[in-house]
């Protein structure tokens, strides 16, 4: 009976997934013929806004919609920056299996951000590019966001095996305009870029093998994502079960592959402790609360976002007990929460 029940459930789930994935979402029309493939004449279709962050002190003039997975560390990085910057924004939760909510775009990854501009609606992709372009704009709000976006072109190339790749140029660079920033040294700018890249290239790759280390930890992680992402309110029962169990199985296997690909230690916890302590050593050498000084910089935010994405897991609890990160993490939480707007569930 158990086998039959499992089989029926699996077939029902696959049928539901097939129907969802084949529900067509019409792409929205691009209006720029000058190389900007992500400028649209109309806003993307949104079924449900998961929540809205409203900051009464926001004077940026930006109308921002973030398409994300709640648990994705790259999405967490964008949220951490938006909260730290004190801007208002809407959040659309994307189903990680069907991806229906981004069916309107040729770019199917998250995070992606849509910003209302004078010419229409500009889509920004890639967490580091999103942060760099917004941080550049917010330094001088009289700038044209579309001109800033042009400093981050996408370059396509082929690998030796013939596979096609693309890379966003300058994604760790802030655009300061014609004048040198008076509040930053060249050394601090280079250091910030270096640690931001390290966060993406090194620390980020220790996360999945740790939170999906065993089948039980993988399922527990997805149940945590279910709760934190408010999936019960946003997705149907079948969608939630599909994401939890299919997602847990997929990430359990992917975690094993990532462990091998990135040469993590046999005990992956040790790799996580080692990399976090490596960053904390750099912070300690500054003699300041954060790598950025008295306030976090973009590197602090990138590292913090990695850890927020696993907060609540067994791996995170182990990390606090076996590294020196706890005081810095608490300070980061306090700063970001003091700048975040009011969170409103729609």
CA distance 116 to 62: 7
Is the distance from CB of 171 to CB of 209 less than 8 angstroms? no
pTM of the model as a whole:
0.86
* Candidates 40, 75, 304, 329; catalytic one: 75
CA distance 304 to 293: 15
* Candidates 72, 84, 225, 290; catalytic one: 72
Per-residue pLDDT of the chain (346 residues; tens, 9 = 90+): 443 343 434 444 444 444 444 444 445 545 444 556 789 889 999 988 999 999 999 999 999 999 998 889 999 999 999 999 999 999 999 987 788 888 888 888 899 999 999 989 999 999 999 999 999 999 887 788 999 999 999 888 887 777 778 889 999 999 987 777 878 899 999 999 999 999 999 999 999 999 999 999 999 999 998 888 888 888 888 888 888 999 899 999 999 999 999 999 999 999 999 999 999 999 999 999 999 999 999 999 999 999 999 999 999 999 999 999 999 999 999 999 999 999 998 7
Q: Where are the domains of the chain?
A: 10-345
Topology, domain 10-345: Glutathione S-transferase Yfyf (Class Pi); Chain A, domain 2 (1.20.1050)
CA distance 66 to 52: 10
* Candidates 74, 84, 225, 304; catalytic one: 74
CA distance 15 to 255: 27
Indicate if 74 belongs to the active site.
yes
* Candidates 40, 67, 69, 152; catalytic one: 69
Indicate if 75 belongs to the active site.
yes
14 CA to centre of own chain: 28
CA distance 207 to 272: 7
Indicate if 306 belongs to the active site.
no
Beta bridge partners of 121: 40, 116
């Amino acid at each position: 009976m158990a086998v039959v029940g499992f089989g029926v459930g699996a077939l029902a789930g696959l049928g539901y997934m097939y129907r969802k994935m084949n529900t067509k979402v019409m792409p929205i029309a691009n209006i720029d013929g000058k190389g900007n493939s992500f400028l649209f004449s109309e806003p993307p279709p949104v079924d449900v806004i998961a929540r809205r962050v409203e900051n009464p002190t926001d004077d940026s003039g930006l109308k921002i919609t973030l398409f994300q997975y709640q648990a994705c560390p790259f999405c967490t990085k964008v949220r951490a920056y938006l909260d730290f910057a004190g801007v208002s924004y809407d959040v659309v939760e994307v189903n990680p299996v069907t991806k229906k909510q981004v069916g309107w775009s040729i770019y199917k990854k998250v995070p992606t951000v849509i910003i209302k501009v004078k010419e229409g609606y500009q889509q920004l992709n890639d967490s580091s590019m999103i942060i760099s372009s917004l941080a550049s704009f917010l330094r001088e709000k009289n700038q044209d966001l579309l001109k800033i976006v042009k400093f981050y072109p996408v370059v396509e190339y082929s690998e030796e095996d013939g596979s096609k790749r693309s890379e966003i140029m300058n994604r760790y660079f802030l655009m300061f305009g014609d004048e040198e920033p008076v509040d930053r040294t060249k050394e601090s700018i280079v250091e910030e870029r270096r640690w931001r890249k390290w966060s993406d290239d090194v620390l980020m790759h220790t996360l999945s093998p740790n939170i999906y280390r065993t089948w039980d930890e993988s399922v527990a992680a997805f149940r945590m994502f279910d709760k934190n992402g408010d999936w019960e309110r946003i997705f149907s029962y079948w969608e939630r079960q599909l994401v939890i169990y299919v997602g847990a199985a997929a990430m359990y296997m992917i975690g094993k592959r990532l462990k091998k690909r990135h040469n993590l230690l046999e005990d992956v916890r040790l790799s996580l402790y080692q990399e976090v302590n490596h960053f904390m050593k750099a912070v300690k050498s500054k003699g300041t609360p954060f790598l950025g000084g008295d306030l976090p910089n973009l590197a602090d935010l990138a590292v913090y976002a990695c850890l927020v994405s696993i907060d609540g897991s067994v791996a995170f609890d182990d990390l606090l007990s076996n590294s020196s990160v706890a005081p810095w993490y608490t300070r980061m939480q306090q700063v970001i929460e003091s700048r975040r707007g009011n969170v409103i569930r729609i």
